[in-house]
Structure formats: C-alpha cells, structure tokens
Amino acid sequence: MIRSFIASVLCFFTIHAMSAELVCAGGNEVFIVDTDGATAKKLWRWSGEDAADLPAEARRDFNHLDECKPLENGAKLLVCASNGGCALIDRATNRLLWRARARNAHSLSLLPHDRIVVASSLSGDHLEVFSLSGSTVPVFKTPLHSAHGLVWDEKRQCLWALGFDELRAYTLEAWESDQPLLKLKSSYPLPDKDGHDLRPVPGTNELIITTEKTVQLFDRETNSFKPHTLLGKEAGIKSVDVHPSTGRIVISSWGTAIRLLEPSGTIQFKDARPYKVRWLQ
C-alpha cells in the first residue's frame, strides 16, 4: 500500500513537471493553453477580429493564422497568417508592437538589429526583411520557392530558410546599414519535397524539418539529413516542437487535437484547429 502511494505521488510530480504552456495558431486566433489536462483551456488569446489597435481594413489580413513564435520568454509573440498579416504582439497588453503584410506569409523570425524576416510562400515565393523601427515596406527581398520555415542560428550567425525542395543558409550582409541583404551561403536538397516546418532541436546541432511525407533531422555540423527516430515516416505534419528543458515533443497535424510524445498524450480542442503549436519557453 505504501509502495502504491509512493508510485502515485511520483506519477503526480512527473506529470506536473512535464506540464507547460503551449502557443497555438489557427483559424483567426492565436492562443495559449496548458498541457495539464486532456481538454484544452485557453489562458490567453489574440484575434485580429477584435484587436483594439488594428484598423478595420486590416482585420482580414489576420485570418488563417499559421505561425506563432514566442520571444523574451513569452512576453512577446510573433505571428503571421496566410492572408498576409504579420505582427509582433505584446502579451501583457495585447498591443501590436509592429505590423506588416507579406503575401501568403507562413513563418517569420526575429533577426539582429531589430529586423524581422518573413517567409512569403506560394504566390509570393520569396523572403522579405522588415525593420521594426521602419515603415511596413520591406528593406530587402530574395526569391525562395514556397518559402515556409525560418530559424535564426545565433551560434553560426546565419539564417536557415526552408523552401519547397531545399534548405538554405544565408549570412547577413551590410546589416548595420539601411540596405541590408541576405547572402546565400549554401543550399541542401531535401530528401522529400514540400518543405513545411523548420525548428531547432534545443541543445543540439539538429533542425527538425517536416515535408509532404516525412519528418527529417538535419545536422548543421555534417550538413546531412536522416529520418526522425519517432516521426520519420509520418506524413502531413504541420508543426513539430521540442521543449528545451524536458525534451517533450508536441505535434500538430491541423486537426481538433494535438499530440505529445515523451511522454505520450493528447490535447483535444472543442472550438479550435491549431495549425502551428510552439512551446512557450
């Protein structure tokens, strides 16, 4: 009986140690939920439909939200939508700190010198760089077919960008000037077409890449691909993210539920279909 009690206590603390908040983007809202429970409870939300400081003519830009990246331990959130809206949101006040528009925006990333790069996907097919302190007009553009994923690599001082059938690395040139540019450093053909999500595996040299039919790992030291150990043969995955402390994996396939691995779990949504899901670090 004592053993059973101890086991229950250990199980309780194990589960709650693995509990953490997730940022989800899908439909017309970005929201935060806790992983402690099988049914999602929204702790915070933002929507272009009711944002106080968003002009009426720009509300439609934030339909079909498809990316959400926390900054500064979740104090700020980068979001974008396939309708073109891109924004930096202050979580405490829901205030827009920056806003722009990029055709079919599918991801974005903060770069040094207060600049943001946006992946403009099909019908845009390029990367756009914006200044947080400047106008909403991009300061630089470069072509990339079906641009979908972006990761700034502080250690290597380069930007990784995922396209339809290749992974590219760019360096920052003339970055302190008012005419910055992304210089293509290298390109690596994907093992499978239709690159979609691109995320770093915390504490490693690896990047996670989701494609049409697989999930791959790319080693940034050897510049080589290999199938993901747990997800290598899974198709149609929209996002994968690894928690930096626990190593727990969250997966979205754009349905009414998201999956968790190590340990396994499922979170069900009654009124949402998350497209991208990120750990709130």
Mean pLDDT along residues 43-65 = 97
Mean pLDDT along residues 41-57 = 95
Domains plus CATH for the chain? 19-279 (2.130.10.10)
Q: For residue 75, what are its two tokens?
A: 């104090």
In tens, the pLDDT along 110-169 reads: 999 999 999 999 999 999 999 998 778 999 999 999 999 999 999 999 999 999 999 999
Residue 166 neighbours by CB under 8 Å, 6+ apart: 187, 188, 189, 190, 195
Residue whose pair of structure tokens reads 């239709």 in the numeric block? 194
pLDDT at 228: 98
Residue 214 neighbours by CB under 8 Å, 6+ apart: 191, 192, 227, 228, 232, 233, 234, 235
Q: How far is CA 39 from the centre of its chain?
A: 22
Bond before 202 cis per omega within 30 degrees? no
**Number of Cα atoms under 13 Å in the Cβ half of residue 98:** 23
pLDDT at 35: 87
pLDDT at 222: 98
Instruction: Report the share of the chain in percent with pLDDT over 70.
Output: 93
Q: What pTM does this model have? A: 0.92
In tens, the pLDDT along 195-211 reads: 999 999 999 999 999 99
pLDDT at 244: 96
Task: Identify which of 280, 274, 281 has the alpha carbon closest to the alpha carbon of residue 259.
Answer: 274
pLDDT at 15: 37
Mean pLDDT along residues 36-44 = 85
Question: How far, in Å, CA of 17 to CA of 2, rounded?
Answer: 22
Would you call 42 exposed, middle or buried from its count of C-beta atoms within 10 A (0-12, 13-18, 19+)?
A: middle
pLDDT at 281: 77
Task: Identify which of 11, 9, 32, 29 has the alpha carbon closest to the alpha carbon of residue 20.
Answer: 32
pLDDT at 19: 61
In tens, the pLDDT along 75-85 reads: 999 999 999 99
Q: Is the pLDDT of residue 4 over 80?
A: no
Least confident of 5-14, 158-167, 216-225: 5-14
pLDDT at 60: 97
274 or 3, which is more confident = 274
Q: Is the pLDDT of residue 17 over 90?
A: no
Task: Identify which of 116, 260, 136 has the alpha carbon closest to the alpha carbon of residue 180.
Answer: 116
β-bridge pairing 276-279 and 21-26: antiparallel
